[in-house]
Structure 1
């Protein structure tokens, strides 16, 4: 990588670890948001920061047909995207028991999407596009579950919770549609963007979709009306209710 790209990766690491500290501070005054929500987003940014640390130090890459494949990105995504989905699922089922095939379908489809993306980048010719299309189909399944069964769960609760879910799902939908688009036009796909531009976009997108989503989702939940917060406090299992701090 160029010096510019190395610097970008270290800046990304700094943003992720800074976000982890911010989530910890927020958890000290949780505003009735369960502690597990803060913990999920802390794990997302810490793991992502560690994965991109490897890239900044020249690790987590390999050469395929003369191109550099940054497989550490996929090691990041295969862990953090299911965690983001878990956070969204918990938002959609905020005051009801979390069970059934929807959650399993989301997790499984997301893992398939990430792994097929890695295989696509490690492939050439027909195989590359076969695996790319397979990953896009898996993404469509994820989005269908977003806006179908999980939305119905959100609708069964207070209107304020449904609104939070819709906004959160829209946020992730826009972000996750951008990933295959950047992959397609970047060096991994058609090569319409050079390496520097592709790397820059794959720095910006995860910041917005990981740290950005964490702040967005948590703030929406923290700002729920007091009537809904009382309902949540009454209905939730006491040992899962918000308590000051993660420490």
Structure 2
């Protein structure tokens, strides 16, 4: 049954990729970089979900089965999602703060890597410590998004600043949902089983990579079409 969900996600990503290719041919003032980043996110995520659907990518470790395809997906798509959000926040900002962008991207790596490290730990204390480190990295990423990155977004025209708040809030809530599912699943307190965890991760991935990308780029296209903002 898990395979059905995984293949459904792969098909959904493929359909979304076709949509973004079509949009990119009529960009409506949205830079091609926006389309390329979302396309890569969808392609990379679809590849690793296909690997999981084929029954690969699972390793018995520390008394449970670790599906490392999740982490292979997230270690690339998390920094790309941050970069996509930065593009949205700085469309109409002439000066890009490279230090801020670098910090946002760099801190996504411990945020993700804490997961497989925690799963590999035999000690419960060590496992939750690693999980806590990942949560601290997530908190730092969210702090940078809602602090200095939001300040940059507010230097743009009002419609763009409002759009940033919408997409940043959606991304933040989805990012918070992933560690909740993780801690409730087999690596954590085991309230939900492996199948349910897989299904929830698929649903969250669909919302984050397909849904969020369509909302972000779709709203940018609509604003540009209405002449509400000039996209750089």
Asked if 1:70 is matched to 2:67, the reply is yes
Q: Which runs of 5+ in 2 are unaligned?
A: none
Give the C-alpha shift of residue 111 in structure 1. 1.0
Q: Is the 8 A contact 1:63 1:69 kept in 2?
A: yes
Q: Displaced runs of 4+ in structure 1, greater than 2 A? A: 97-100, 225-229
1:201 aligned residue: 200
Asked if 1:53 is matched to 2:50, the reply is yes
Match of 1:191, SS state, is: coil
Match of 1:224, SS state, is: helix
The 5-angstrom pairing of residues 107-126 of structure 1 reads 107-124=105-122, 125-126=124-125
- Say which is worse superposed, 89-98 or 202-211, in terms of deviation: 89-98
The 5-angstrom pairing of residues 28-47 of structure 1 reads 28-47=25-44
2:181 aligned residue: 182
1:223 aligned residue: 222
Q: Is the 8 A contact 1:109 1:142 kept in 2?
A: yes
Q: Which runs of 5+ in 1 are unaligned?
A: 237-247
> Aligned equivalents of 1:33 and 1:188: distance in 2?
41
Aligned positions, number: 229
Give the C-alpha shift of residue 194 in structure 1. 1.4
1:98 aligned residue: 96
2:160 aligned residue: 161
Give the C-alpha shift of residue 149 in structure 1. 0.1
- Say which is worse superposed, 95-104 or 110-119, in terms of deviation: 95-104
Q: Is the 8 A contact 2:62 2:119 kept in 1?
A: no
CA-to-partner distance for each residue in 1:101-149, whole Å, 9 max, x for gaps? 2111110111110011111122232211111000000000011011000
Match of 2:60, SS state, is: strand
Give the C-alpha shift of residue 13 in structure 1. 1.0
Give the C-alpha shift of residue 100 in structure 1. 2.8
1:80 aligned residue: 77
1:239 aligned residue: none
> Aligned equivalents of 1:167 and 1:58: distance in 2?
37
> Aligned equivalents of 2:227 and 2:194: distance in 1?
51
Q: Give the alignment's TM-score, normalised by structure 2.
A: 0.95
Larger RCO, structures 1/2 (Cα 8 Å, 6+ apart): 1
Q: Is the 8 A contact 1:16 1:211 kept in 2?
A: yes
Q: Is the 8 A contact 1:90 1:98 kept in 2?
A: no
